[in-house]
């Protein structure tokens, strides 16, 4: 745990000497909701997209045969694994054969694997991360792995023996007694062991409403049609008529995508069909307690549940109980983009990915400035208070993810959006693909100094607000990029040399921009995470606004109460501002500056009942007793 920071106090005046620091008591047990693990309030999550994080073992790299459509003539035989450090929009010869960037990019593979994650666990620990969220790690053909061929096996190309793993899997049935532990499975268990040894928890993606077409049940259904024992596991519209030359087989795909067949519900729609439900329960048990000895310490620490609202709530209530029968401290978080309070309570979840209550308002004020700080805090309060207090502390507060443009590029493309729009422009037409189709313009340039100052404010607020912050891989390294596929570029590492970004999405040249690990951005994230770890009130305390000035675009708030409270001041304006911030009567008699977003002159004074602040533009600071 890192406990030191950069404190460039260029011009600081504090009225009285700081008092002795005291640590607030831990939250009482009776304040913890039954499905909210105590550790989650202390979590700083880091999201890993495995195929794009680190290639630790080139011998297991994907092959052309492992792609979704390898032999239909669409992917040329000249296909090869893409160089990790190349210019993202530049096209290899096989990509030009396919017709361009957007026609080929989804068939790219870079070879990211579990060994690569293991090799970089110390990097994550030094950053201050203590919880990992993995996008799907289960066997699947796509780069994103949301088209699972199995929920009980890690993708063979994430492990050391892809061919051997595939051969073992071919021997299995739906009966768990036939399941093997593949080399990739065992490497994942080693990753868990290594992470836990560093105090890092691990949650993984569960995609339980649809599968890939190579999933064992659907593969049998395709082959045997109505005679398949899995005929009622999926939503089949029509079976093939063997008496005709046509293939009449039709089924429901997720959002109409035929590569993602959807599981069927039970007869009254209150649960999943018993077949897939039992399979999912068996697979869940495998990862919660791998050796089956009743001790969950060798298993995962929780789950992120994809499109959870598309699975009946009855399933989730049973499944969450099943999860916690193995580990009462498991954390289960839904992917919902709207108010999820009722859904969490009925389904027995711990939390939700907090797009609605965090990411949307943050974009509205700190990025776009389309809403004033008073509206911002009103939205925060209204949406946070939908949840019980224990849930508020563990909501997964993210800004960017694999489903959005990256934070830095959100800032580059900041536009004063319609303040009445609930999402404030979040994840709306946010890539060059949309620009080509909808007539919008999306700028793929590298962030400048002003953009980075705004990013610092966003990160500071993320680490000092109520809830568990989550960083998308590479945000801390300075990465930028539009929405899918650009948000899934290979991670930028300090030990690798990258080609400049010198190509546009359409293949035309542009002025080169240096691509490299940004140590300045990294140090900022490391230090602001350390700040969160250092002050319990930033994880457990309440949220109170001390000042919100719309004309100045300044917000000052405190976390915690009485003399232990921490005060945070943010100036989102492009101008410097001075303000007097009244303090509650029980506030500390003296505050000291503990963190600033950058080295620039500012002033802090304290009189009998107020703080006097002079803040540079796009600047934030943190005060503590």
Instruction: Write the pLDDT tens digit of every residue in 408-421.
Output: 999 999 986 655 56
The answer to whether 250 and 238 are in contact (CB under 8 A) is yes
Average pLDDT over residues 214-239: 96
The answer to whether the peptide bond before residue 231 is cis (omega within 30 degrees of 0) is no
The answer to which of 71-80, 168-177, 426-435 has the lowest mean pLDDT is 71-80
Average pLDDT over residues 441-468: 97
The answer to which of 145-159, 387-401, 419-433 has the lowest mean pLDDT is 419-433
Q: What is the CA radius of gyration of the chain?
A: 25
pLDDT-derived band at 305 (thresholds 50, 70, 90) equals very high
% residues pLDDT > 90 (the chain): 88
Task: Give the pLDDT of residue 418.
Answer: 58
Average pLDDT over residues 18-39: 53
Q: What single DSSP character describes residue 492? A: P
Measured CA to CA, the distance from residue 319 to residue 330 in angstroms comes to 12
Task: Give the pLDDT of residue 14.
Answer: 31
- 625's tokens: 């007793």
Q: Which region holds residue 111: left if phi is over 0, alpha if psi is between -120 and 50, else beta?
A: left
The answer to which of 197-206, 269-278, 415-424 has the lowest mean pLDDT is 415-424
501-503 and 554-559: which strand pairing?
unpaired
509-513 and 501-503: which strand pairing?
antiparallel
Task: Give the pLDDT of residue 589.
Answer: 85
523 — phi, psi (to 5°)?
-60, -35
Please calculate the CA angle 546-370-554 and round it to the nearest 5 degrees. Answer: 25
Measured CA to CA, the distance from residue 250 to residue 241 in angstroms comes to 11
Task: Give the pLDDT of residue 588.
Answer: 79
Residue 111 has pLDDT above 70, yes or no: yes
610-615 and 603-606: which strand pairing?
antiparallel
Average pLDDT over residues 475-503: 98
Task: Give the pLDDT of residue 434.
Answer: 81
Task: Give the pLDDT of residue 423.
Answer: 84
Task: Give the pLDDT of residue 5.
Answer: 26
Average pLDDT over residues 84-90: 98
Domain ranges of the chain: 216-256
Measured CA to CA, the distance from residue 458 to residue 352 in angstroms comes to 20
Residue 607 has pLDDT above 70, yes or no: yes
Task: Give the pLDDT of residue 10.
Answer: 31
Residue 13 has pLDDT above 60, yes or no: no
Residue 23 has pLDDT above 70, yes or no: no
Model's pTM, two decimal places? 0.93
Work out the widest C-alpha separation in the chain, in whole angstroms: 91
Q: Reduced to 3 states, what is the DSSP secondary structure of residue 453?
A: helix
31 against 450, higher pLDDT: 450
Average pLDDT over residues 447-473: 98
Residue 359 has pLDDT above 70, yes or no: yes
Q: Report the sign of the C-alpha dihedral through residues 10, 583, 25, 131, in that order.
A: negative
Task: Give the pLDDT of residue 420.
Answer: 53
284 — phi, psi (to 5°)?
-60, -45
pLDDT-derived band at 122 (thresholds 50, 70, 90) equals very high
Q: Reduced to 3 states, what is the DSSP secondary structure of residue 621?
A: strand
Residue 258 has pLDDT above 70, yes or no: yes
Task: Give the pLDDT of residue 235.
Answer: 97
The answer to whether the peptide bond before residue 485 is cis (omega within 30 degrees of 0) is yes
Average pLDDT over residues 551-566: 95
Task: Give the pLDDT of residue 30.
Answer: 35
Average pLDDT over residues 587-591: 87
Task: Give the pLDDT of residue 150.
Answer: 97
551 against 433, higher pLDDT: 551
% residues pLDDT > 70 (the chain): 92
Residue 73 has pLDDT above 70, yes or no: no
Over residues 505-520, the pLDDT tens digits come to 999 999 999 999 999 9
Q: How distant, in Å, are the alpha carbons of 57, 145, 235, 496, 544 from that of 112?
A: 8, 13, 34, 15, 43
Measured CA to CA, the distance from residue 75 to residue 291 in angstroms comes to 41
Measured CA to CA, the distance from residue 189 to residue 130 in angstroms comes to 17
Please calculate the CA angle 43-45-47 and round it to the nearest 5 degrees. Answer: 165
């Amino acid at each position: 745990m890192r406990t030191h920071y950069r404190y460039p106090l260029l011009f600081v005046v504090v009225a009285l000497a700081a008092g002795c620091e005291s640590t607030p008591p831990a939250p009482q047990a009776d304040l913890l909701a039954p499905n909210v693990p105590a550790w989650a309030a202390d979590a700083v999550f880091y999201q890993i997209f495995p195929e794009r994080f680190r290639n630790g073992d080139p011998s297991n790299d994907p092959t052309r045969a492992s792609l979704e459509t390898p032999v239909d003539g669409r992917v040329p035989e000249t296909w090869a694994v893409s160089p990790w450090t190349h210019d993202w929009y530049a096209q290899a010869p096989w990509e030009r054969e396919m017709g361009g960037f957007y026609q080929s990019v989804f068939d790219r593979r870079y070879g990211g694997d579990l060994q690569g994650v293991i090799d970089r666990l110390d990097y994550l620990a030094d950053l201050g991360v203590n919880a990992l969220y993995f996008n799907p790690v289960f066997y699947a053909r796509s780069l994103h792995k949301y088209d699972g061929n199995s929920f009980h096996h890690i993708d063979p190309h994430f492990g050391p023996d892809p061919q051997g793993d595939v051969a073992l899997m071919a021997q299995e049935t739906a009966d768990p007694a036939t399941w093997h532990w593949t080399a990739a499975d065992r490497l994942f268990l080693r990753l868990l062991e290594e992470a836990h040894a560093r105090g890092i928890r691990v949650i993984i993606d569960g995609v339980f409403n649809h599968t890939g077409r190579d999933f064992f049940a659907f593969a049998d259904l395709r082959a045997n049609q109505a005679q398949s024992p899995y005929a009622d596991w999926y939503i089949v519209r029509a079976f093939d008529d063997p008496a005709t030359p046509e293939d009449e087989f039709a089924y429901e795909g997720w959002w109409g995508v035929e590569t993602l067949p959807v599981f069927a519900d039970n007869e009254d729609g209150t649960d999943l069909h018993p077949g897939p439900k039992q399979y999912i329960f068996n697979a869940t048990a495998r990862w919660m307690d791998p050796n089956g000895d009743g001790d969950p310490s060798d298993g995962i620490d929780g789950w992120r549940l994809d499109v959870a609202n598309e699975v009946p709530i009855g399933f989730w209530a049973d499944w969450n109980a099943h999860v916690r029968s193995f580990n009462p401290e498991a954390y289960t978080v839904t992917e919902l983009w709207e108010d999820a309070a009722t859904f969490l309570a009925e389904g027995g979840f711990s939390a939700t990915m907090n797009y609605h209550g965090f990411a949307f308002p943050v974009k509205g004020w700190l990025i776009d400035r389309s809403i004033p700080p008073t509206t911002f805090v009103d939205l925060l309060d209204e949406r946070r208070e939908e949840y019980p207090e224990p849930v508020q502390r563990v909501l997964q507060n993210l800004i960017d993810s694999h489903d959005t443009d990256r934070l830095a590029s959100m800032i580059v493309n900041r536009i004063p959006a319609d303040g009445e729009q609930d999402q404030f422009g979040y994840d709306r037409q946010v890539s060059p693909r949309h620009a080509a189709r909808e007539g919008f313009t999306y700028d793929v340039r590298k962030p400048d100094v002003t953009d980075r100052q705004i990013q610092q404010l966003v990160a500071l607020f993320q680490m000092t607000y109520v809830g568990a912050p989550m960083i998308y891989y590479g945000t801390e390294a300075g990465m930028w990029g539009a929405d899918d596929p650009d948000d899934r570029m290979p991670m930028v590492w300090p030990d690798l040399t990258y080609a400049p970004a010198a190509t546009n999405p359409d293949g035309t040249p542009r002025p080169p921009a240096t691509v490299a690990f940004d140590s300045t951005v990294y140090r900022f994230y490391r230090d602001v995470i350390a700040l969160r770890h250092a002050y319990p009130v930033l994880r457990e305390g309440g949220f109170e606004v001390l000042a919100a000035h719309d004309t100045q675009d300044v917000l000052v708030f405190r976390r915690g109460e009485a003399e232990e409270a921490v005060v945070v001041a943010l100036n989102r304006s492009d101008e410097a501002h001075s303000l007097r911030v009244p303090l509650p009567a029980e506030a500390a008699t003296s505050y000291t500056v503990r963190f600033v977003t950058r080295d620039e002159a500012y002033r802090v004074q304290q009189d009998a009942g107020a703080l006097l602040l002079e803040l540079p533009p796009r600047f934030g600071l943190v005060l503590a007793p």
